[in-house]
Structure 1
């Protein structure tokens, strides 16, 4: 047994009556689990007599944090793509210069030049075009994924490799960008269009991807993240094999794996698949697109247009995905940003019977626009819904939201105060790497944005929806644990994993604008120190 003493504990839920968050406390650990938590003066005699005592010196200690919407396998897949995120790239000129440093540059016609993270909305010189990429190279295929992860830009060589030309039709659920004369302009809008080209790019092997996942240990644990929901693991073939191989080689976080909906390729799920360090969490369906690219499905047209965005799933697919999740005892997680999309999902599922006892059966992911009327329907629904949302989006992509968010809708954007006051089952998450910010999965970047409701450039964003520090911490710990299929995480309480983090400063004591500067001194995973000294 190990006893940790002199810690100021945030146990994961503000309403926890067992611990005073400002008092010095202690907790005991045996076999990787917490066995007791309480005031430092009440340590059980057996633990007090033990030689295995670790004094945490009055530091603030939190449960290991959860990112319940992230993309580790996508991060591994992008390991050889050129970083086009800020601060590396803040203009079109920066993007084009960065691509010339790609390791495949000049390596011959079979070597693809790839990049990730451009966001034309933020560039003073406009976004790159197919013409710009053609000027870089007329012999190598170039594929740049936009920061939202939904869209891409390619050159003429890549279009030709995919067999696309001006006569090619738009795929279902996506669009091929065209200029005023109807010629393909290299933009691939939404995943259905991106996949037409991306599937021709050589893929890393399962062994390569497993090694890349292991290399991400320091990234996740350095941010205090001990459990992850991979919300589209089928970016790669056979993700379970890749993850399990990575665990054999030393990958440490818990992961719930979610398959992209494919009516022809959904596997059966066994009891063993629903347990363990790597488990099947469920299925993910795309209801609409992204707000930053005006493809989220919205009630009010985007400013200056007659465009309502895209509905990217049919009702038959949505119902079939939910039926598969029900039959296999897992979750159905639905990407939906626009208010029209959320309303449509409530029409489809509000009266359905939930199938999971302890967690939401259906989770709405992103939830940009949530009105009081929607929350009233969610509260009254027979179905148990969860909501995952993202303050990192408006923080990092403020230029896009200024351009695309109607003033009448702004008060309903990422409304954390309203969600908590309504008693919704809600969590914060990063969607990493699919937003315009380096290390967007640092929880304290999102926590700061939740508390001060300001963007990266200091602009206020619906300040009426600000929440407190403790409430924001709950959304990455105890409340996040109420959504994920993973177990034993998100709380400092007996019976939970001894997975916790020690901070370099107290989030309850630092100025609000310093919350994003907090750092993890130590990360402990099931009673073992895995990051820090």
Structure 2
């Protein structure tokens, strides 16, 4: 038996907004005592040096599998890249440029709403990087992308190629493809031609991503499209072999023509486990592809894109019910959220401990919709954000109708109305290079100010403690990935040590908080 007492810190337990202690003990990886440091023999304890300690952080909507595919990509995210010339210059730094004709040049994170040119890049722009090698750059939302002429050629996309369901190959006045690939099915029509890594390399890359997450104090994640890599569960478990990794709940993508095989009990248990199935009801708000009730400003009929039929949504729900896992539905626009409710609110839940259905992002939530979620027979949970409004303010300012702004990410109302709720990063599908820094999201939740200082809904602000609960104990209620999220007897001894008191510093400094150490099951796995 191994036992270690931690003392001399300001320890936020996650049991409540004002619940702090000064000491706790971890025995064989599990917390078995929480209390006051006054009764502890200091000589036998690990001194926390007066630092603030929080439960290990949980990012319940993030994309580690996707992050493995962009390790070699050029970072094209704001604030580093904010114009088309900067985008081209950044892509020209890719290590594959000038090598083999079949070597792809990939970039991640353009956001045309911040470009003075006022438009997305096109194949003609990316041909300035290379005309002999394929070039693909993902938009910041990871729903859309743009590619050069060589990539269009490899994918066989011409003027006569039909648009995929729920997506578009954008075209010029003559009908020729421009290289802009709007929504996932169009982007994947090109991205699927990028060669996949082998099993050993996939596991090695996932370990790299795991180390990045641990450096952020993140000890648990939900991977909301783990099937972006082959054999995701095997890859996660291989990555855990001999390496510290966050706990992981994997959500598989849904292809109605080729649904995942049914799960076993072994698939649903362990530090890495299959937790659910993900479907996508609409697009992204900053790209005007979220499915909305009222048309976007400046239009009489643009309601965004619906990307999932009722038939496919219900079939995915039946698969999740049969396999006793969650159904996660990407729904940003208010019409998309209403459709989820129309389809499922009267159904019987199939899970007892956690919501059977998660709504992902949930941009527009009016009070009536929140009340409908609460009153439903189905048990719903929500994974939402503040980092979107913070980082993508320009797009939201352009696309959000003024009368709906009070309904955009109403974190305060959700905090008080919905028990199963989490803040999350959606990294790397976010227009900010540091999106997986939890404290950027926490500051945005507290201040409700964008990256440029603009007001993003002061009436929806929460306290630092409330925001951190949405990354710890409250987040843990959204999906079961193990006994994490609290410094409490019976929970895994996983926690993060911070460089400042995030509960008392000026709110504009919260985002500068750094994680000094991350511990999992009583063992330091990062820092120190």
TM-score relative to the length of structure 2: 0.97
Q: Does 1:275 align with 2:269?
A: yes
Give 2:47's match in structure 1, choosing from 41, 51, 55: 55
Name the CA distance, whole Å, in 2 between partners of 1:92 and 1:262.
Answer: 35
Match of 1:527 in 2: 522
Name the CA distance, whole Å, in 2 between partners of 1:28 and 1:52.
Answer: 11
Give 1:31's match in structure 2, choosing from 20, 28, 36: 28
Q: Secondary structure at the match of 2:66?
A: helix
Instruction: Please list, as runs of the form range in 1=range in 2, the aligned pairs for 1:312-351 lying within 5 A after superposition.
Output: 312-351=307-346
Q: Secondary structure at the match of 1:411?
A: helix
Change in 2 beyond 3 A, CA 1:272/1:123: same
TM-score relative to the length of structure 1: 0.96
Give 2:192's match in structure 1, choosing from 199, 203, 216: 199
Q: Secondary structure at the match of 1:434?
A: coil
Name the CA distance, whole Å, in 2 between partners of 1:254 and 1:178.
Answer: 43
Q: Single out whichever of 257-266 and 184-193 deviates more from structure 2.
A: 257-266
Give 2:355's match in structure 1, choosing from 351, 355, 360: 360
Match of 2:288 in 1: 294
Match of 1:377 in 2: 372
CA contact (8 A) 1:303 1:403 kept: yes
Name the CA distance, whole Å, in 2 between partners of 1:302 and 1:211.
Answer: 43
Q: Does 1:68 align with 2:60?
A: yes
Return 5+ residue gaps in structure 1 as ranges. none
Match of 2:395 in 1: 400
Name the CA distance, whole Å, in 2 between partners of 1:527 and 1:369.
Answer: 40
Instruction: Note the aligned Cα RMSD (angstroms).
Output: 1.4
Name the CA distance, whole Å, in 2 between partners of 1:15 and 1:93.
Answer: 47
The ranges of structure 1 where at least 4 consecutive aligned residues each deviate by more than 4 angstroms after the TM superposition are: none
Name the CA distance, whole Å, in 2 between partners of 1:364 and 1:423.
Answer: 12
Q: Does 1:123 align with 2:115?
A: yes
User: Shift of the alpha carbon at 1:423?
Assistant: 3.6
Match of 2:72 in 1: 80
User: Shift of the alpha carbon at 1:421?
Assistant: 2.6
Name the CA distance, whole Å, in 1 between partners of 2:501 and 2:425.
Answer: 22
CA contact (8 A) 1:213 1:251 kept: no
Name the CA distance, whole Å, in 2 between partners of 1:184 and 1:249.
Answer: 47
Give 2:279's match in structure 1, choosing from 276, 285, 310: 285
Name the CA distance, whole Å, in 1 between partners of 2:397 and 2:253.
Answer: 31
Name the CA distance, whole Å, in 2 between partners of 1:345 and 1:88.
Answer: 37
Q: Secondary structure at the match of 1:523?
A: strand
Q: Does 1:443 align with 2:435?
A: no
Q: Single out whichever of 211-220 and 286-295 deviates more from structure 2.
A: 211-220
User: Shift of the alpha carbon at 1:134?
Assistant: 2.1
Name the CA distance, whole Å, in 1 between partners of 2:190 and 2:349.
Answer: 38
CA contact (8 A) 1:333 1:365 kept: yes
Instruction: Please list, as runs of the form range in 1=range in 2, the aligned pairs for 1:153-302 lying within 5 A after superposition.
Output: 153-263=146-256, 264-302=258-296
Q: Secondary structure at the match of 2:88?
A: helix
String of CA shifts for 1:349-389, please: whole Å, max 9, x gaps. Answer: 11111111110110000000001111111111111100110
Name the CA distance, whole Å, in 2 between partners of 1:164 and 1:131.
Answer: 15
Name the CA distance, whole Å, in 2 between partners of 1:251 and 1:62.
Answer: 19
Q: Secondary structure at the match of 2:412?
A: helix
Name the CA distance, whole Å, in 2 between partners of 1:135 and 1:41.
Answer: 67
